[in-house]
Structure formats: structure tokens, C-alpha cells
Structure 1
Amino acid sequence: MGLSYLGIFHTVIGVVAIIAAIVSLIKSAKIDLGRLSGKIYFYCTLVASLTALGLSSVKGFNPGHILALLIVVLIGVAYFLYSKKPGNIRARFFENFLLSFSFFLSWLPTVNETFTRVPVGHPLANGPGDPLIARTLLLLLVLFIAGSVLQFRKQRRLNRLS
């Protein structure tokens, strides 16, 4: 596998972020920054995205770095909306979407890196263009869209009750 210490740290923190997001989605149907699982997702995603800037299989600034910075911006704006605009208001729609979108984007390198490295010696995929990776990402996109619609509907109900 050949991971550096930074790569190992980045991977562990990233896995913790993904688990926290899944727990939050199961418990709250959203990544809830008011709950421990949402806070763990936020901080671990922030650290994982920033450490991704120090990782690269090619020299120089690349699309992976842009993706990491985009995720930092998304969770940063979501945190701002959470902390500065409390209550069940229109800002919750954006906060929920931004956190869910950051979670979806986190899966892009996760799927690619996992499928091209595991199992060691005989990876599931040959590279980013492998059909297995494409099908998996398509499935994740469909789940993201369906989840976003459900979150939107739930938030609309909450806003009407307020």
C-alpha cells in the first residue's frame, strides 16, 4: 500500500469522519452539528481535508487539492449558518445541503483510493476510469440526491411547525 505517516493519519481521520456522518444521518436524517456525531464529522472532515493538501501521487497542485479546499469551504459555510442563524429557518436548508454535499464529495477520493488499493496486491479497480468506480459513484450520487430531497422535505415540515 505504501502510505506515509501523513497518509495513515489522513485515512484514519477520514474514516472517523465518514462513520460519524453515517451515525448522524441514521440518528437525525442529517449531519447535525448540534450533536456529537455532527461535531466529530465537522472537525475530522476539516482535518482530513487539510491533511489531503499534503498528500499527492503527482507533483504540484491537483484536482484532489481543489476538492479538499471545496470541502473545507462547504463545511465552513455550513458551520457559519449553524452558529449564526439558529432556529428552523431557511438557513437550515442550505446547512443540510452543504454538509450532505461535503459528505458526498468526500466519497469521490475515498472510493477511488479504496478500490485501487484494496485488497493489497489485487485491487478491485485498475484506476479512476474503472467501470466499478464509475458505477459506485453513480450509486452514491443517486443516494445523495434522494437523501437531499428527503432532508429538504423534513426541514420544510420543521420550518412550518416553527
Structure 2
Amino acid sequence: MLGLSTLGIIHTLISLVAVAAGVIALVREQRINPGNTTGQVYIWATVLTCVTGFGIFAHGGFGKPHALGIITLVVLGLAALAGRTRLFGRASVYVETICYSTTFFFHMVPGITESTTRLPLGHPIFTSPDAEGLQQITGVAFLLFLIGVVLQVRRLRADKSWVMGRAVA
């Protein structure tokens, strides 16, 4: 299937669960909230996506996708730290929210790349991950990510019921 190994198929399916959970979370709450089921599904599916990705060496040895997996895990850890401690003070909810959104953007980069260099079968949109058009699409995705983060920060600032990332009754 699309030139994927068994591990590649499992990795892809898990990543699709993560992306779906991320989309649902962002649509429902405008953020990925680790305090609810959708947020937890997103987080754990993202962790599993990273871990399964470490076993895929389609282009030789350790590469950019593996580095992105490590960075994603570090950013997830930073988000969890911000959500559970006072390390960042009043900025904790912002750090947590931005970090989870950043990991969602990190899903988009390989998702866009892999989809456009594999589909449609036999005649993919781009023949290389370095194609100029693909770089432009990734740039637009980054711009949308930045707009989303600005909107999230504005929403958090306007919502005074959030203290240290948790709703106050």
C-alpha cells in the first residue's frame, strides 16, 4: 500500500488518529486540552506516532523525520510541564497551548509531504520533498499555524476564568 512497510502503515494510521483528535479538539475548544479525552487521545497518538516513526528508515538512516519526532516529544514534554507546574508562572497556559498547537503543526509537515509525494498513485503531485511548490504549501501551513496561535493567545487573554491552564469554577 503506497510503498509503505507494515510499520509504516501502523505509523500512518496512528498519526491519522492524532490528526483527527487534534482537529476535533481545535474545532471544539480552539485548543488541545490535555484535561479531556480528545486531548488525551491526541497526546498519546502523537507520542505513538513519534515512537513508531523512529523505526522507519525509508531514506537510509537517521534523518529529518526522526529529528522532528524527537523535537515533537520535547515540545509535548514542555507542554505537559507548563500545564502541571508553575515553572512558567502566569504564562503557563500560553506555553501549554502554544506547545500543543506546535505539535499539531509538526504533524502537518510530514503529512503534507508524504501525501503530496505519494498521491495520486503513480503520478504524485510532487516528485520530491524539496519541490518548490511543496515548500510553498508548507509555508502556507506555517502561516495558518501562526494565525491560529495568535487567535488562541487572544482567546486565552480574554477568558479570565483560566488560571494556570485550568478552568476556575
TM-score (norm 1): 0.92
Partner AA of 1:73 in structure 2: V
Instruction: List aligned pairs for 1:1-162, cutoff 5 A.
Output: 1-85=2-86, 89-159=90-160
Partner AA of 2:50 in structure 1: S
In the superposition, relative to structure 1, how do residues 45 and 115 fare at CA in structure 2: closer, same or farther (>3 Å)? same
Distance of 2:47 and 2:155 partners within structure 1: 27
Aligned residues: 160
CA shift for structure 1 position 2:
1.7
> 1:48-78, CA deviations, whole angstroms, 9 ceiling, x for partnerless residues?
0111111122222111111100001111221
Distance of 1:84 and 1:9 partners within structure 2: 34
> 1:111-157, CA deviations, whole angstroms, 9 ceiling, x for partnerless residues?
11111111111111111122331222111111101000011111112
Distance of 2:138 and 2:125 partners within structure 1: 14
Distance of 1:79 and 1:5 partners within structure 2: 31
Partner AA of 1:14 in structure 2: S
Partner AA of 2:83 in structure 1: Y
TM-score (norm 2): 0.88
Distance of 2:162 and 2:94 partners within structure 1: 15
Distance of 1:139 and 1:42 partners within structure 2: 24
CA shift for structure 1 position 158:
2.3
Partner AA of 1:101 in structure 2: T
SS at match of 1:116: helix
- Is residue 89–residue 159 contact of structure 1 (8 Å, CA) maintained in 2? no
Distance of 2:162 and 2:110 partners within structure 1: 39
User: Which consecutive unaligned segments of at least 5 residues does structure 1 have?
Assistant: none
Partner AA of 2:107 in structure 1: S
Partner AA of 2:22 in structure 1: A
Partner AA of 2:139 in structure 1: L
Partner AA of 1:120 in structure 2: L
Distance of 1:83 and 1:9 partners within structure 2: 31
Distance of 1:24 and 1:4 partners within structure 2: 30
Distance of 1:161 and 1:70 partners within structure 2: 28
